[in-house]
Amino acid sequence: GESVGLHLPTLSVQEGDNSIINCAYSNSASDYFIWYKQESGKGPQFIIDIRSNMDKRQGQRVTVLLNKTVKHLSLQIAATQPGDSAVYFCAENSGGFKTIFGAGTRLFVKA
Amino acid sequence: DGGITQSPKYLFRKEGQNVTLSCEQNLNHDAMYWYRQDPGQGLRLIYYSQIVNDFQKGDIAEGYSVSREKKESFPLTVTSAQKNPTAFYLCASSIGGGGPVTQYFGPGTRLL
Quote the pLDDT of residue B99. Answer: 66
A96:B90 CB<8 A? no
> Which residues lie below 8 Å from residue B26, measured CB to CB, with a gap of 6+?
B2, B3, B72
- Whether chain B has a CB inside 8 Å of the CB on A89: the answer is yes
Q: Flag whether residue B45 sits within 8 Å of chain A, measured between CB atoms.
A: yes
CB-based burial label for B71 (10 Å; 0-12, 13-18, 19+): middle
Chain B: nearest CA to A47, how far in angstroms?
A: 11
Cα gap A98→A54, rounded to integer Å? 21
Contacts of A104 in chain B (CB under 8 A): 40, 42
Q: What is the pLDDT of residue B98?
A: 62
A7: region left, alpha or beta (phi > 0 left; psi from -120 to 50 alpha): beta
B59: nearest CA partner in chain A: A98
Sheet holding B19-25, edge to edge: B4-7, B19-25, B76-78, B64-66
Task: Per residue of chain A (111 residues), give pLDDT as tens.
Answer: 333 334 678 999 999 999 999 999 888 888 899 999 999 989 999 999 999 999 999 999 999 999 999 999 999 999 999 999 999 999 998 877 788 888 899 999 998
Q: Within an 8 Å CB–CB cutoff, is residue A104 touching chain B?
A: yes
Radius of gyration of chain A, Cα coordinates, nearest whole angstrom: 14
Q: How crowded is residue B29: how many other Cβ atoms within 10 Å of its Cβ?
A: 19
Amino acid sitting at position B27:
L
CB B64 within 8 A of CB B82: yes
- Out of A41, A43, A95, the one facing B99 most closely (by C-beta) is A95
Model pLDDT, residue A42: 92
Q: Can you give the pLDDT of all 112 residues of chain B as single tens digits?
A: 569 999 999 999 988 899 999 999 999 999 999 999 998 788 999 999 999 999 999 999 999 999 999 999 999 999 998 989 999 999 999 987 666 778 899 999 999 9
B110/A contact by beta carbon, under 8 A: yes
What 3 state SS string does chain A have?
Answer: CCCCCCCCCEEEEECCCCEEEEEECCCCCCCEEEEEEECCCCCCEEEEEEECCCCEEECCCEEEEEECCCCEEEEEECCCCHHHCEEEEEEEECCCCCEEECCCEEEEEEC
Closest CA–CA distance from residue B17 to any residue of chain A (Å): 24
pLDDT value of position B100: 72
Q: Position B17: which residue type?
A: Q
Nearest CB neighbour to B98, from listed A7, A8, A96: A96
Integer angstrom CA distances of residue B36 from A11, A54, B33, B92: 25, 31, 10, 11
Cβ pair A96:B94 closer than 8 A: no
CB A16 within 8 A of CB A75: no
